[in-house]
Amino acid sequence: MKLEKWNQSYGFLLGKVLQQMETRFADGLAQYDINARQYGVLLFIEGNPYSSQKDISESLQIDRTTMVSHIDHLETLGFVERTRNPNDRRSYSLLITPRGNDVLNSRWEFLIKTELAVLAPLSQQERKLLKDLLVKVWITL
Amino acid sequence: MKLEKWNQSYGFLLGKVLQQMETRFADGLAQYDINARQYGVLLFIEGNPYSSQKDISESLQIDRTTMVSHIDHLETLGFVERTRNPNDRRSYSLLITPRGNDVLNSRWEFLIKTELAVLAPLSQQERKLLKDLLVKVWITL
DNA sequence: AAAAATTAATCAGCTAAACTGATTATATAT
DNA sequence: ATATATAATCAGTTTAGCTGATTAATTTTT
């Protein structure tokens, strides 16, 4: 791999590393019939139970109308449940089902393994450094 | 911003940082009627003149049939030129036009500025560290 | 309290990008 | 020569994001 102008950009490098992680992770999700975004939605609901679809849309920056299809799909698979929010019956309170929880746990381990595989060239210390730098940027976004 | 399970993944963090850079960069490309991928194609051809569409497809991992439309678009705008490869008349030798070169230079400065703005929370030393870590991962992909 | 404005979810329709599979022209291998 | 392989292209499908409109519920204004 030659270092040229076009791969001196942070965006290019971030994109390449991310692309690897996403492709590999997607392979491990296929058996559950969900994609990486939908797994992200599951993760978010796990960490923020009783969220509305709007909450998730805004936090994950996924379009509200696309969110409808994601939740439809996850509900059909029995991974999430739409319950009404008694304080505002316009919105749902979304919850992870036991089946959804199994997927979350099983695929979380897989995700971590996948990311470590892509970051294999880095030492544990370097990986920690990378995460710290990324978090430092992310918290200001 | 709360640090939870769902944002402890490298993939999540990489994605968020990249998303910021891409959105901002796209805004600065709009006036030239191209998107970030098409700018990436221009950059590649600049660094690898006489490339074929297949070369670009493989290196940038953009589908070959999608590449046809990208090159069509860039050719219509007068940013690249399709010339025949005399050694293999099945493939093209793609070249940047002077107009394409103007776009490349002007938007390169903008790209660098955009990336630095997103990475503003990092010191110069930390940015260098981040790039070194990303390059280290990328060269093994 | 009634009317007006706002909001969450949904639906229909559009666009862009990735993908599959087929076709054409050219090149390489047997 | 014949068969196989390859680069570019085209037609058609899928998926995600987007716009704009609708419905039901909530909040604000009069």
Give long-range contacts, CB 8 A cutoff, 24+ apart: B115-120.
B115/A9, B115/A10, B115/A11, B115/B21, B117/B24, B118/A10, B118/A137, B118/A141, B118/B17, B118/B20, B118/B21, B118/B24, B119/A10, B119/A137, B120/A140
- pLDDT tens profile A40-95: 999 999 999 999 999 999 988 899 999 999 999 999 999 999 999 999 999 999 99
Q: Which nucleotides of D are covered by protein (CB under 7 A)?
A: 6-12, 15-20, 24-27
The residue behind tokens 């955009």 is: B114
pLDDT score for B7 = 73
Residue with tokens 């294999």: A120
Residues 55-114 of B with CB under 8 A from A: 61, 108, 111-112
pLDDT at A2: 59
**Residue B39 burial by CB count (10 A; 0-12/13-18/19+): exposed, middle or buried?**
buried
- Contact B128/A at CB under 8 A: no
- The predicted structure's pLDDT at residue A131: 95
Contact criterion met (CB below 8 Å) for A55 and A48: yes
Which of A29-33, B93-97, B119-123 comes out lowest in average pLDDT? A29-33
Is A123 an interface residue toward B (CB < 8 Å)?
A: no
Alpha-carbon distance B114 to A2, whole Å? 24
Range A55-59, long-range pairs (CB < 8 A, 24+ positions): A56/A94
Secondary structure of chain A as H, E, C letters: CCCCHHHCCHHHHHHHHHHHHHHHHHHHHHHHCCCHHHHHHHHHHHHCCCECHHHHHHHHCCCHHHHHHHHHHHHHCCCEEEEECCCCCCCEEEEECHHHHHHHHHHHHHHHHHHHHHCCCCCHHHHHHHHHHHHHHHCCC
For residue A43, give both structure tokens: 């993760």
Share of chain B above pLDDT 70, in %: 98
pTM: 0.88
Question: Strand C closer than 7 Å to the CB of A97?
Answer: no
Scan for tokens 């992200």, then name that residue: A40
Considering only CA atoms, which residue is closest to the C1' of nucleotide D10?
Answer: B65
Residue labelled with tokens 């995460």: A131
Q: Do B111 and A9 touch (CB under 8 A)?
A: yes
Using DSSP, state whether B121 is helix, strand or coil: coil
Q: What would the pLDDT profile of A108-134 be if each residue is shown by its tens digit?
A: 999 999 999 999 999 999 999 999 999
Q: Would you call A126 and B136 a contact, using CB atoms and an 8 Å cutoff?
A: yes
B35, pLDDT greater than 70: yes
A84 Cβ nearer than 7 Å to chain C strand:
no
Residue B20 confidence (pLDDT) above 70:
yes
Q: What's the pLDDT band for A16 if we cut at 50, 70, 90?
A: confident
pLDDT on residue B42: 95
pLDDT tens column, B96-113 = 999 999 999 999 999 999
Residue A52 CB lies within 7 Å of the nucleic strand C:
yes
What Å value separates CA A53 and C1' C3?
A: 29
